[in-house]
Amino acid sequence: MDVIMGLVGYKKKIAVLCIIFGMTTMSFGGCGKQVPMPELLEPVEVSLSGRIAQREDIFDIEAYAGSVKPYAVSYAFPDACLVEKISVRLGEYVEAGQVLAVMDRSDDERRRDQLRSDIAWLEKEDECQRRMDEADMTVAQMQLSMAISESKDTKEEKKAIQDMTKALEADKEEAEYERGLRQIAIEEKRKQLSLYDQKTDNAYLKAKESGYVVYVKEFSADNTAGSVDAEEIVVLISGKQLAYISADIVDAKVKKATEIYAEIDGEKYELEYLPYSDQERRIAIDAGISLEARFGTKDDAAIAKLIGRNATVYLLSNQKKQVICTAPDSLFSENGEYFVYVLENGQKIKRSVTPGIHTVNAVEIEEGLEGGENIYYPISDMPGNKHTIEKTQKSTFEIVKKYDQTNMKQTAALRVLVKPEAAVLQELKVKNGMEIAQGDTIAILAADEGESMKEAYAQELEELKASYDFQRTLDNKEADKRQKRISAMIENKTENTFEYKKTVQELNKIKLSMELEDARYQYEAEKLNRNIDKAGEQSGIIEVKAPGAGIVTEVTASPEGYSILKDTLLCKIADPSSLNIMVYTEDKEVVPMDREVTVDLYQTEEDLKGKVISSYQDAVRTMYNEKRLLSENNPQMTKISYIALEEGMSYEDVKSFGVNVVLWSVPNAIIIDTRAIYNENDRRYVWLLEEGQMKKQYVTMGYNDANKAWIIQGLRAGQEIILEN
């Protein structure tokens, strides 16, 4: 990617820079009026040995590039499933209650019908088996009663009665145990059905509140079926009513700071550090996400109006107000004693002092000095014999980056998938870029395998019917036999005999068995008929119709005449009214949401205006503020930003493009030539020219490159600095 830097000033751009920013290559620009280059001068004859000690505020300051980001609410299906349709697109404003996504329920409906059939069969089996057990118990009880009534109390008879009693109790216990198992099986099926009912109730993701869509799940080439894990994020919605500020700052520096504030569009905002919990950090590590420092303000709603804007975050430490200070190199030490040299009458007089806070540019003197005293400090690295004078001035400091992309276009799109388990692509009637209407034919498939499956299920159904009819014939014969025996007993008036009662129970049991066989046959036949219907849907010549109107994209590369599997992507149908482009950025450069950008159309040399409507890394980070867990299997949502283009752009208008993004900027920044900066013991300073004399001035430098540096402390606009040639 090309890196472009601009210094945007009061009148015109004067420099193009490159800079290392964080871990990535970025551009910093500063701008201002072009000052005429002065003539080279000889060194100025000045005294450089003393500086007046005075009271002033001291502190260390560091500046970091940040941005204002929105909080968001996530929407996910509670269980793993296939997504049939995502009904919203990036940047779209949705109302509370609006459907965001729909689960694919085709297989669930079949499974639910099967479970209902299973439950009906198990309940019928339980009922019939219970009544047959009761019939068996009745016969056994009659046999026991008859044995007791006919007993002569012999030893053998008593033992036989005891054995019969034990056997009856054992049969009862076994019948109860078997019924308990049947009840468990029924309850398990009911639980499964309840889960499917609940899953159907959760088939629609609906917005809980109004807001803008800032993330939409994209399905990769190896997941064209649209499968998602349980709790995997499908849509993120931001009401843009609350926001926070983030910057790439390590915790240790934030915790050391005594004051934190941000400047946004020239306004100052006091910040409160919002540390991540241990759980949030663990989730981020699992997801491979690097967390930036997060800050809130006293009025998050007010800051929300600035979403997408640059924010410069300042950390102040070692702060003290109105203390006696001296330059760091004016303080000496020997054998644990600290001292300075006070200049009196041109002489250096050693004086012991007690130092306090040390900052980059000054040292507090707690005891030993008074304001107004002239303190000696050594001079080194004076400018060479030839030097140039340059006047400092304020300008806008920018990090501008250009991302080159080719054919990285995205729109809201419908997926058209192969539904049969396997089919042959006979004819593909669309091609990329074709405009189609809803209901137009996408492709013609031939699914012969479904026909053979249908024939196999039909054959199985015929065999089931034959087996049922044969068993019914046998059962009818047994029932007729016992009915004739009962009729004869009634005719002979022997209804009160044990044999009569036993025969009646046997007849009832045969009838219950026939009733159970009827239920079993109906259950098995319904299951086979469902399979026949499903196979029929996947057999013969199938025309695949367009589910909506739009532009055809990503047409399958499968050749005609070859087999294609279920859930193979035939094509996507893009919504031409929702043209977005997708930009891949480096890890530290994710473009904040709502950031305005410029898009260069290479084929027309035109510039378009756009706005970032979704940033993957931003989207994930907002999750932590909702206390929602990220699945470890969730795809890493980093390094990508989606940009919505101006209305009226057609899908084919954008063939190749580059995106210019102002990642960060600081208005009214002091920017100087790096030739003016000297380094001494990790302290930076410049030489000022004041009233014809050179003065050593310590400074705090922000970002810099080989040519220009941003000075955040130590200089003001209009001062003259000396550049060594």
Q: The tokens of 654 are what? A: 């954008």
What Å distances lie between residue 493 and 30, 485, 489, CA to CA?
120, 12, 6
379-392 average pLDDT score: 69
Helix-strand-coil split of the chain, %, nearest 5: 30, 35, 30
> For residue 41, which phi and psi values (nearest 5 degrees)?
-120, 155
pLDDT band at 289 (very low <50, low <70, confident <90, very high): low
CB 670 within 8 Å of CB 31 = no
CATH number at residue 213: 2.40.50.100
Q: Does 77 fall in a domain?
A: yes
| Domain membership flag for residue 492 | yes
The answer to the question of residue 12 being in a domain is no
Q: In angstroms, what CA-CA distances link 402 with 1, 381, 431, 600, 640?
A: 7, 39, 32, 10, 14
Q: How far is CA 625 from the centre of its chain?
A: 13
Q: Which of 574, 592, 624 is the last residue of a domain?
A: 574
Q: What pLDDT, on the 0 to 100 scale, is given for residue 638?
A: 36
Q: Quick one: 492 and 619 in the same domain?
A: no
Whether residue 603 sits in one domain with residue 633: yes
Tokens of 231: 């709790």
Instruction: Determine, yes or no, domain membership for 476.
Output: yes
Q: How far is it, in rounded angstroms, from Cα 699 to Cα 720?
A: 14
Contact between residue 579 and residue 409 where contact means Cβ atoms under 8 Å apart: yes
Token couple for 400: 């501008």
Is residue 372 left, alpha or beta, with left meaning phi > 0 and alpha meaning psi from -120 to 50?
left
Lookup result for tokens 């007849």: 507
Task: Choose the weakest-confidence range: 191-200, 319-328, 426-435, 485-494.
Answer: 191-200
Give the mean pLDDT of 298-305. 79
Rounded to the nearest 10 degrees, how much is the dihedral formed by the CA atoms of 387, 393, 398, 402? Answer: -50
Q: What CA–CA distance (Å, rounded) separates 657 from 626?
A: 36
Does residue 355 form part of some domain? no
Residue 650 lies in a domain: yes
Q: What is the 3-state secondary structure (H, E, C) of 104-168?
A: CCHHHHHHHHHHHHHHHHHHHHHHHHHHHHHHHHHHHHHHHHHHHHCCCCCHHHHHHHHHHHHHH
Per-residue pLDDT, 634: 34
Q: How far apart are the C-alpha atoms of 147 and 156, rounded to whole Å?
A: 12
| Within-domain flag for 454 | yes
Domain count, the chain: 3
* 80/178 same-domain check: no
Residue 343 CA: distances (Å) to CA of 37, 366, 574: 37, 19, 80
Q: Name the domain boundary from 595, 622, 654.
A: 654
* Residue with token string 């299920």: 457
| Rounded Cα distance, 192 and 171, in Å | 32
Q: Is residue 541 domain-shared with residue 471, that is, in the same domain?
A: yes
Among the candidates 550, 574, 598, a domain finishes at: 574
Q: Tell me the pLDDT band of 568, cut-offs 50, 70 and 90.
A: confident
Do 530 and 589 lie in one domain? The reply is no
Q: How far apart are the first and last CA of the chain?
A: 33
CB 378, CB 329: distance < 8 Å: yes
Q: Are residues 141 and 92 in the same domain?
A: no
Pair of tokens at residue 281: 């950090």
509 lies in the same domain as 582: no
In a domain, 165, yes or no: yes
Calculate mean pLDDT across residues 446-473: 84
Instruction: Yes or no: say if 245 and 135 are a contact pair by the CB < 8 Å rule.
Output: no
Buried b (16+ CB within 10 A) or exposed e, 672-707: beebbbbeeeebbbbbbbeeeebbbbbbbbbbbbeb
Please report where in the chains the tokens 């027309």 appear, as a residue: 604
Burial class (CB in 10 A: 0-12, 13-18, 19+), 348: middle
Q: How far apart are CA 632 and CA 630, in angstroms?
A: 6
Q: Would you give the distance in Å from CA 486 to the centre of its chain?
A: 76
What phi and psi, each to the nearest 5 degrees, are found at residue 142?
-65, -40
DSSP 371-437: TT-EEE----S---SSEEEEE--EEEEEEEEEEEEES-EE--EEEEE--SSEEEEEEE---TT-EE-
Longest dimension (CA), the chain: 152
Residue 591 tokens, joined = 């473009």
Nearest CA-CA partner of 713 in 674, 689, 686: 686
Q: Which of 445-454, 642-651, 689-698 has the lowest mean pLDDT?
A: 642-651
Q: What is the mean pLDDT of residues 458-475?
A: 90
Cα–Cα dist 433/218, whole Å: 20
603: its two tokens: 């084929």
Domain that holds residue 623: 73-105+204-238+408-412+576-654
Cβ atoms 568, 554 nearer than 8 A: no
- Are residues 563 and 440 part of one domain? yes
Does 150 share its domain with 217?
no
Pair 431, 549 in one domain: yes
* DSSP assignment of 545-558: EPSS-EEEES---P
| DSSP SS3 for 207 | coil
Residues 7-63: tens digit of each pLDDT: 333 222 222 222 223 323 333 333 333 333 333 333 333 344 577 888 888 888 999
**pLDDT tens-digit series, residues 103-135:** 887 777 778 888 888 898 899 889 888 888 888
Phi (first) and psi of residue 619, to 5 degrees: -60, -45
Collect all residues with Cβ–Cβ distance below 8 Å to 291 and sequence separation of at least 6.
276, 280, 281, 284, 621
Q: What is the pLDDT of residues 704-725, one digit of tens each?
A: 777 888 888 889 888 999 887 6
Say yes or no: 570 and 469 in one domain: yes
Give phi and psi for 649, each to the nearest 5. -80, 130
- Claim: this prediction has a pTM higher than 0.75: no
- Comparing C-alpha atoms, which of 482, 517, 65, 73 is closest to residue 309? 65
Look at residue 586 in the predicted model and tell me its pLDDT: 60
Q: Please determine, for residue 440, whether its predicted confidence score (pLDDT) is greater than 50.
A: yes
What whole-number distance in Å separates Cα of residue 226 and Cα of residue 12? 51
**Residues facing 581 on adjacent strands:** 409, 643
pLDDT score of 577: 67
650-689 tens-digit pLDDT: 666 666 777 877 777 888 888 888 888 888 777 888 888 8
What residues contact residue 121 under an 8 Å CB cut-off, 6+ apart?
519, 520, 523
Identify whether residues 565 and 491 lie together within a single domain. Answer: yes
Section 248-271 average pLDDT: 90
The pLDDT-based confidence of 5 (bands split at 50, 70, 90) is very low
Query: From CA 251, how far away is CA 639, in angstroms rounded?
Result: 23
Please say if the pLDDT value at position 629 is more than 60.
Answer: no
Residue entry with tokens 């209804």: 495
Torsions phi, psi of 629, nearest 5?
-85, 140
Return all residues near 453 (Cβ < 8 A) that are at least 6 apart.
531, 535, 538, 539
666 neighbors 682 (Cβ within 8 angstroms): no
